[in-house]
Structure 1
Amino acid sequence: MRFLLLWLLLLATNLSIASTTTPIQYHFTPTDAAHHLAHVSITFPNVTSKTFQVKLPVWRSGRYEILDLSKAVSSFYAQDLHGQAIQWEKSDKNSWKLFLNHPGPVTIGYQIYANTLKQRVIHIDSTHAFLDASGVFMFSPAFRDHPLTVSLDVPNHWQSRSGMEKSSSHQFVADNYDQLVDSPIETGVHEFLSFQLDQQNYEIVIWGEGNHDIADIKTKVSLLHHEAKKIWETFPYKRYVYIFHAGDQLRGATEHVNSTIIQQNRFNFKPRKPYLKVLSTTAHELIHTWNVKAYRPAGIAPYDYSKENYSDLFWMAEGITSYYDDLFLLRAGIFKPKEYFAQMAEHMKNHLDNPGRKVESLAQSSFDTWLKDDAQQSHNAAVSIYLEGNMVAWRLDQEIRSLTDNQYGLDQLQKLLYQRHHNTNQGYHKQDVLNLLEEITGHNMNAFWQAYVEGTQAIDFDQLLFFYGLQKTPKEPSADAAWIGANLNIEGEFVGIKTVDSDSPAWHAGLTMGDQLLSINGIKLSPDNVKIRLKQLTIGTSYEIHYFSAGRLRTTTITPVDTPNPDFFIEPVDKPDRQQKARFKSWAGQDLVPRKK
């Protein structure tokens, strides 16, 4: 009865579930670096409900895949202010329900296994700890908007960095859980550099040994800052943190609200070619600070951390960003035009070589991005929101320029999305985009959308290139014109098949993903000779293939045909006209130099 009266008193005085002054306290303590273990405790102030739920996300922002992050949690417990155990039960794979005997502060704790560095979630060793809160820190839906502190019990000589503001050397503060989950923490021994551009403060953090040059990275990201300012004019952050991990077999990156985590092989920062890929990734993540963080599709605004978040506009978040990353490098003068043209040709070739582009639309791919099919199925029946979105973004940019006599381009759409939909809790819809496109161009863009976004209409690349004074130039005829339609895995001892194009010679020969090729006309195939052997095949000639499929020795016949998509260069036309030069200049940020005969 006493407990019930207290409960009613709290409700009568209009107190909310949580205090509005006392922050939630998160504590993180590495306990066994060699075995990647840590202890987490969280204290929620003044819980007044009889049952109290805590959860860990099942995915993390920036990666649209269910990761089931709670599999790293063990030894969960809950207790009250006096250290008395609170009864609890696990209600589903990522939720714990607590049963309180009386109101007051509640502390939960658990052990976390911290060894998912390649997934950019959490990692602990003797030199550092990297924390993406989605895989480390639980939250209560009732306290999601509550202020919080994060304290790290780490060695004194370590340095702690994050997009969150510091309250002490190893403590951060956040307005709510959403800010915490979008602000990864890097604490440990690392290189550090800070500088200011305009009114924005930048920090570069590099953990790991490699061939990087932090001063040169500063120079390059400074150029990216100025390119971003040209499009969006203002910045959604006052401070931005670049976190780099340099290590063995590391790749990938994740955007966050005012920071990014970029992972690279430790020796990818030299020579120039791999370094340009690092810089392209860096540009990609910075662009995401606007396109997906400052404005994003309605399906992921706000985030629901406990299930898939669906949208048929994911291609705008990822594909448009992929379109801009290399373009930023070109406009900034980091890419030479010839290097950019080579990248463009590679993207086009990958697009043309993907049979799935004739089957699945960008809208479908966006909605189904949570589905992870095997490589063979995806190759023939699906498209990537990154690659296909890149190609359609390029085509959309051209369409806008064509309809406005080059007065506007895709930059204007991005600027207006930022101005009109800069609210992380209210995303934009398809009709919002179409309305903005009509505002920019003065034309209804429904037909374009139905053809290229909701349909699978092929892009006329010759026309698209010519618009900018560019052209495809076939490479010299080569022996690889004989095509079988199989993508090979030639690492290790065997020649394996990654994917087979539908309706290709390899497809009709019965070859499929996972098969191991043994010989052609009785002569052994090996990783060392397979490329040469395939180049020696003759179009229209039948060859006997021995191979293993599902562990059984099999024989088939394959007849190469002409390659449907011959290799090509992209280069300027001989005599670009005035309009082509003007379009190229406004698009690429530099003059078009005609090719030399």
Structure 2
Amino acid sequence: MATRRRTRAASVAAPAAASAPVHYEVDLSDRNGHHFDVTLTLAAPQAMQLVSLPVWIPGSYLVREFSRHLSGLVATQAGRACTVQQIDKCRWQVHCAGPEAGALQLRYRVYAFDRSVRTAWLDSQRGFFNGTSVCLSCAGHEAGPHGLTLAGLPAGWDVASGLAGDLAGGWQAPDYATLIDHPFELGAFWRGSFEAGGVSHEFVVAGVPPGFDGERLLADTQRICEAQIRFWHGEPGDAGQTRPGFDRYVFMLSAVDDGYGGLEHRNSTALICNRRDLPRRPVAPPPDGRPAAASDGYVTLLGLISHEYFHTWNVKRLCPAEFAPHDLSGEHYTELLWFFEGFTSYYDDLFLVRSGLIDAARYLKLLAKTANQVLGSPGRAVQSVAQASFDAWIKYYRPDENSANATVSYYTKGALVALALDLTLRSEGRGTLDAVMQRLWREACARSVAAGSAPEQGGPISEAHIAAALQAVGRRDFAPELAVWVHGTGDLPLERLLASAAVGWSREAPTLAQRLGARTSDGPAGPTVLAVLSGGVAERAGLAAGDELLALDGWRLGKIDDLTLYGAFDPAGTRTLPLLVSRDRRVLALELPAGASSAAAAEGAVALVVQPKAGAAERRRREAWLGTPPA
């Protein structure tokens, strides 16, 4: 069952890791200055040794220029200073002799004040780092053993990492790629553990409030992990059951006042959440003995946990063929993020309902939210999810006021592509998307074993592999669907497909924002336009992102809802209404169309509901899909 451990004080000695040919000592003494001080010792350097730092981290497709936080790089060999020459933004040439002159030692500082899961953080309360931000790579030595030790830890601080090792002996990695795929969490955090699928799992949480219910978090996470291990490796006792390709997994969660995100690693994940979204201990025992219903924020956190854990297979082991291996010196392109991120986004919430953590009605609300995010973006008619995958480096992580008009998310539309394929397979009675994913896994593992790799480690796949697995499971060619749904820009036939699984599709009345065709926010000075959507009333009226809405038809606007108060979209309206806006401190007079015709193109949000009176075949299909009992 779940356990909680006491934190332990740091120890200093680290002989095992220090003996590695490439060794990093990471010193945390300068916590108030937010600097990690790193000493890199290279036992057998090359003459004119080249060192570098990655410019991006796997799983987050943006060049982040980690070297911008590195400073003070100096080098010595046998006690003599070596000249360090910077070659470009992330590479340095060290003017040293070869191994006969002794070990090369590099010293440098890394500024660490980014709370995200992608870089590094250090203050008096907590430390965290990814190796991509802290550990220079030594050219010619990447394939050999690497060691890491920590220094300067205050009393009472603990350490968590998926990497093998401990405070006394340091941490060991067989190569540089493994080292940087294991982040470190440092501090006086909460820690718990459980077992799932024969694998030890740890969960550490930094920044917990007094009412935090750690036991519930562990129990719910355990159910997710057990379900996903069964998904990939089979039910206990099955003839074809296999073991996961890892024997230990670590969840590292930082709870903050406002934040959300996660980044997958080979046998761990780094997570960040809003502290208010953590489960809380009940003030009084529930009268029926059952735990209280999960809050929306906690369900969001469970979905994040499920998403990152699913990535343990779908991107960390199964991976795009273009990413084998990763090139961390620059952009690395693939058109398959719709599969690796989108399909993972489909399964994350699906495993919550299959694990019994939410019911079917709540799942359908989450699914409707995903559908509305896609349908509310005019960019879905401009960019395919394959193009969105390829353009992730310049578009997804760099959104602006026009992103909704020009792009589509490979997360959300990719999830809907997965849904459409799954329901198509199920409605044709020839298989499921589950079977497709499992086939891809088995075949990739078989190819890897044939190439000499260890079993249950997956391998690279291409779109051709995905198409072949769909054809094998569905017993027909799915090229038409892939061409239209993945490489095209048309809408998916979701209403028809959901009806085949006894799920009703309806449209709610359009909101004011949908009628206006704009995204806005209310501030102390009044409503402000954040983005103008293509083809809507706001665009026809001449509104632009950043406009402050001042007055409509002579009435001062305090909130965006005041538009309807003062006559906008009145079905009986017969004239355009004068609209005053402030743009760059200049007052402009625009005209807003009035009457019902101005909102004719606006569609309300999609609502999805269980249809209990649907046909028996459709109900059975829904139950098999969601893993839920009959409604």
Note whether the superposition's TM-score is higher than 0.5: yes
Q: Name the structure 2 match of 1:261.
A: 270
**Could you report, residue by residue, the CA deviation over 1:48-88 in whole angstroms, capped at 9, with x for unpaired residues?**
x32211111111122111111111011001111x2211122
- Contact preservation (8 Å) 1:482, 1:562: no
Alignment of 1:435 onto 2:458: no
Cα displacement (A) at 1:571? 1.2
Kindly provide the amino acid, as one letter, of the partner of residue 206 in structure 1.
V
The 5 A counterparts of 1:104-183 are: 104-118=102-116, 120-153=118-151, 154-169=153-168, 171-183=170-182
Which has the larger displacement, 571-580 or 560-569?
Answer: 560-569
- What is the DSSP-based 3-state SS (H/G/I as helix, E as strand, rest coil) of the residue aligned with 1:411? helix
- What is the DSSP-based 3-state SS (H/G/I as helix, E as strand, rest coil) of the residue aligned with 1:58? coil
- Contact preservation (8 Å) 1:236, 1:294: no
Alignment partners' CA distance in 2, 1:108 and 1:143: 15
Cα displacement (A) at 1:563? 5.1
Alignment partners' CA distance in 2, 1:22 and 1:201: 27
Alignment of 1:62 onto 2:59: yes
TM-score w.r.t. length of structure 2: 0.86
Alignment of 1:380 onto 2:421: no
Query: Would the alpha carbon gap of residues 535 and 452 (structure 1) be closer, same or farther in structure 2, given more than 3 Å must change?
Result: farther
**Could you report, residue by residue, the CA deviation over 1:398-419 in whole angstroms, capped at 9, with x for unpaired residues?**
222234x1x5211112212222
Q: Name the structure 2 match of 1:17.
A: none
Cα displacement (A) at 1:591? 2.6
Alignment partners' CA distance in 2, 1:149 and 1:156: 23
Q: Name the structure 2 match of 1:88.
A: 84
Q: Name the structure 1 match of 2:620.
A: 582
Alignment partners' CA distance in 2, 1:325 and 1:426: 21
Kindly provide the amino acid, as one letter, of the partner of residue 316 in structure 2.
K
Alignment partners' CA distance in 2, 1:432 and 1:161: 37
For structure 1, the 5+ residue unaligned runs are 1-20
Query: How many residue pairs end up in the alignment?
Result: 568
**Could you report, residue by residue, the CA deviation over 1:317-337 in whole angstroms, capped at 9, with x for unpaired residues?**
111111111111011111121
Q: Name the structure 1 match of 2:288.
A: none
- Contact preservation (8 Å) 1:479, 1:536: no
- Contact preservation (8 Å) 1:201, 1:239: yes
Cα displacement (A) at 1:482? 7.5
- Contact preservation (8 Å) 2:307, 2:347: yes
The 5 A counterparts of 1:150-549 are: 150-153=148-151, 154-169=153-168, 171-210=170-209, 211-233=211-233, 234-270=243-279, 272-372=295-395, 373-403=398-428, 405=429, 407-422=430-445, 427-475=460-508, 477=509, 480=512, 483-527=515-559, 529-530=561-562, 533=565, 537-539=569-571, 541=574, 542-549=576-583
Query: Would the alpha carbon gap of residues 63 and 478 (structure 1) be closer, same or farther in structure 2, given more than 3 Å must change?
Result: closer
Determine what percentage of the aligned residue pairs are the same residue: 27
- Contact preservation (8 Å) 2:423, 2:498: no
Query: Would the alpha carbon gap of residues 535 and 88 (structure 1) be closer, same or farther in structure 2, given more than 3 Å must change?
Result: farther
Query: Would the alpha carbon gap of residues 499 and 196 (structure 1) be closer, same or farther in structure 2, given more than 3 Å must change?
Result: same
- What is the DSSP-based 3-state SS (H/G/I as helix, E as strand, rest coil) of the residue aligned with 2:495? helix
Query: Would the alpha carbon gap of residues 572 and 108 (structure 1) be closer, same or farther in structure 2, given more than 3 Å must change?
Result: same
Cα displacement (A) at 1:137? 1.0
Kindly provide the amino acid, as one letter, of the partner of residue 544 in structure 1.
P
- Contact preservation (8 Å) 2:386, 2:487: yes
- Contact preservation (8 Å) 1:77, 1:108: yes
**Could you report, residue by residue, the CA deviation over 1:466-496 in whole angstroms, capped at 9, with x for unpaired residues?**
0110112344x57749812011122453311
Kindly provide the amino acid, as one letter, of the partner of residue 484 in structure 2.
A
Kindly provide the amino acid, as one letter, of the partner of residue 585 in structure 2.
G
Query: Would the alpha carbon gap of residues 184 and 534 (structure 1) be closer, same or farther in structure 2, given more than 3 Å must change?
Result: farther
Alignment partners' CA distance in 2, 1:528 and 1:363: 36
Which has the larger displacement, 195-204 or 363-372?
Answer: 195-204
Alignment of 1:556 onto 2:553: no
Alignment partners' CA distance in 2, 1:262 and 1:345: 25
Query: Would the alpha carbon gap of residues 429 and 568 (structure 1) be closer, same or farther in structure 2, given more than 3 Å must change?
Result: closer
Query: Would the alpha carbon gap of residues 535 and 478 (structure 1) be closer, same or farther in structure 2, given more than 3 Å must change?
Result: farther
Query: Would the alpha carbon gap of residues 374 and 121 (structure 1) be closer, same or farther in structure 2, given more than 3 Å must change?
Result: closer
Alignment partners' CA distance in 2, 1:482 and 1:365: 24
- Contact preservation (8 Å) 1:302, 1:426: no
Cα displacement (A) at 1:115? 0.4
Which has the larger displacement, 532-541 or 158-167?
Answer: 532-541
Cα displacement (A) at 1:198? 3.3
RMSD: 2.1
- What is the DSSP-based 3-state SS (H/G/I as helix, E as strand, rest coil) of the residue aligned with 1:92? coil
Kindly provide the amino acid, as one letter, of the partner of residue 584 in structure 2.
A
- Contact preservation (8 Å) 2:441, 2:458: no
- Contact preservation (8 Å) 2:514, 2:602: no
